[in-house]
């Protein structure tokens, strides 16, 4: 199963793809969708929508996993991020790809055992779990892979605890 993890952002959205099999998880690709800070808001959203659609059409994932919006100190920042997440989710759903969401603390805990882990700790675990020696310099890419890996861990847990139900409900 090809899983696309997304670390959403209005100016930089990271994505990571893994090929999940019950006894083997393999790295496929990673990248970022960047928006210029000078673009107007609606153009940024349109660019995210179009670019994610291209990624989905190219790699043909069966599932998209996206990080949930967290409460930010600045309500405007949270609102803008929510718009970006919404557009990314619609891009996937318009191509009939199910979308699952996980909270940031859950992702960090699933990979490192610590819900307050640093980005560097998450990156280290991503590289260890996928047996990678190198990742692009953007932290958004390792975060996106972490999001995808979290769902793999969740599916393994579900299959052990509930052999008849192997996948989380999709939205």
Could you list the active site residues?
7, 67, 140
Helix ranges (DSSP H) in the chain = 41-59, 75-94, 104-112, 119-129, 139-161
Between 41-59 and 75-94, two packed helices, what is the crossing angle to 10 degrees?
40
Structure tokens at 143: 């975060």
* Strand, coil or helix: 139: helix
Tell me the residue length of the chain. Answer: 171
> H or E stretch including 8?
none
Sign of the C-alpha dihedral computed for residues 68, 93, 157 and 14 taken in this order:
negative
């Amino acid at each position: 199963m090809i899983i696309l993890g997304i670390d959403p952002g209005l100016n930089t959205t990271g994505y990571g793809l893994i090929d999940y099999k019950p006894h083997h998880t393999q790295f496929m690709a990673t990248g970022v969708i960047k928006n210029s800070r000078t673009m107007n808001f609606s153009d940024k959203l349109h660019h995210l929508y179009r670019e994610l659609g291209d990624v989905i059409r190219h790699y043909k994932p069966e599932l998209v996993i996206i990080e949930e919006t967290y409460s930010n100190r600045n309500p405007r920042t949270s609102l803008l991020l929510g718009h970006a997440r919404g557009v990314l989710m619609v891009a996937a759903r318009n191509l009939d790809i199910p979308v699952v969401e996980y909270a940031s603390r859950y992702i960090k805990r699933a990979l490192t055992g610590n819900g307050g882990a640093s980005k560097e700790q998450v990156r280290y675990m991503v590289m260890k779990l996928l047996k990678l020696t190198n990742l692009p310099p953007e932290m958004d890419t390792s975060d996106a892979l972490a999001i995808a890996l979290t769902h793999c861990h969740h599916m393994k847990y579900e299959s052990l605890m509930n052999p008849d139900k192997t996948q989380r409900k999709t939205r």
